[in-house]
Amino acid sequence: MPVRVVTDSNGDIPPEEAARLNIVVVRSILNIEGKSYVDGIDITRNEFYRRLPTLNPPPTTAAPSTADFEAAYRSCGSADIVAIHLASTLSGIFAAARLGAEPLGEQVTVVDSEQASMGMGWQAVAAAEAAAAGASRDEVLRLVRSVQERVRLFASLDTIEYLRRGGRASLLSARLGELLQIKPLIEVRAGAVSALARVRTRQKAREELAARVEALGPLERLAILHTDCLADAQAMASRLAPLSASAPWVVEATAVIGTHVGPGVIGAAAVMASKPA
């Protein structure tokens, strides 16, 4: 039985790559000034990041509906489906995906990626490549688990103001962060977001990010992520390219993620070549 891969737009897989790999992408919703936009369809990322600093009230995000997920799964015909979605601890997307899969029974296996952005995206890419090569559903799932164990996602935030707007940072810590020009370095792993370091300048934050990736050793895959700072992302990709077995992808993060972290973010989603000890 052939295998199809379904994911959601928070995985940040570039559209041309999703099309090449025959990945079905279910898109999240952005709510901006009383109007709803389908992520990546109704508003471009460039337009969103241009408007973001002046939006009041701040934008909010919403999971696709259960019906959206069911429709995506049914679009795969009779194939076995491996559905890889945003960490269940970070969003209601996983719960909606699982409910959408119920009418299709055992045809759909819904996987909690325990990740975000290309930390999730690399799992879906590896799954789709294996499916295209004729792997069975069990073989695809084993590969997804392997990538999940080896993927690391780091991000250097330029400000904590957007976390405050979304209720993810206290007003006091946000004001202190702006006053001191603190640039947090965060990691997403096993569905949790943790602070790794707090540095005082953008350059030091970039250096800390690069050092964290370099410490991982040889990489199977690497994506450099950004929110409206392409030149910085390209420079980071050039620096870290020798670590990776394949050319790094440079990806602008979805507006759904940008809503919570703001512009000026540089991140890295790295898949280690071997399982960490």
Per-domain residue ranges of the chain: 3-149, 151-272
| CB atoms closer than 10 angstroms to residue 142 | 12
Taking a C-beta distance cutoff of 8 angstroms, is the pair 119, 229 a contact?
no
CA 76 – CA 79 distance, rounded (Å)? 6
181: left (phi over 0), alpha (psi -120 to 50) or beta: left
* Distance of alpha carbon 59 from alpha carbon 52, whole angstroms: 8
Contact 214, 197 (CB under 8 A): no
For the cut 70, the answer to whether the pLDDT of residue 176 exceeds it is no
CATH of domain 3-149: 3.40.50.10170
Give the Cα separation of 245 and 214 in Å (integer): 14
Q: Considering the entire predicted model, what is its pTM?
A: 0.93
Q: What is the mean pLDDT of residues 193-199?
A: 83
Question: pLDDT of 83-106, one tens digit each?
Answer: 999 999 999 999 999 999 999 999
Per-residue pLDDT reduced to its tens digit, 21-61: 999 999 999 999 999 999 989 988 888 988 998 888 889 99
Provide the terminal-to-terminal Cα distance of the chain, rounded to the nearest Å.
35
pLDDT in tens, 211-266: 999 999 999 999 999 999 999 999 999 999 999 999 999 999 999 889 888 899 99
8 A C-beta contact, residue 264 and residue 252: no
Categorise residue 96: left if φ over 0, alpha if ψ from -120 to 50, beta otherwise.
Answer: alpha
User: CB–CB of 134/186 below 8 Å?
Assistant: no
Amino acid 198: pLDDT = 79
Cα distances (Å, whole numbers) of residue 66 to 5, 91, 92, 100: 17, 14, 11, 5
Output DSSP code: residue 198: E
Q: Parallel, antiparallel, or unpaired: how do β-strands 183-189 and 192-199 relate?
A: antiparallel
Q: For strand 24-26 and strand 3-8, is the pairing parallel, antiparallel, or unpaired? A: parallel
Q: Which CATH number fits domain 151-272: 3.30.300.160, 3.30.1180.10, 1.10.540.10, 3.40.640.10?
A: 3.30.1180.10
As given in the structure block, the two tokens for residue 145 are 């688990």
Which residues have CB under 8 Å from 71's CB, separation 6+?
A: none
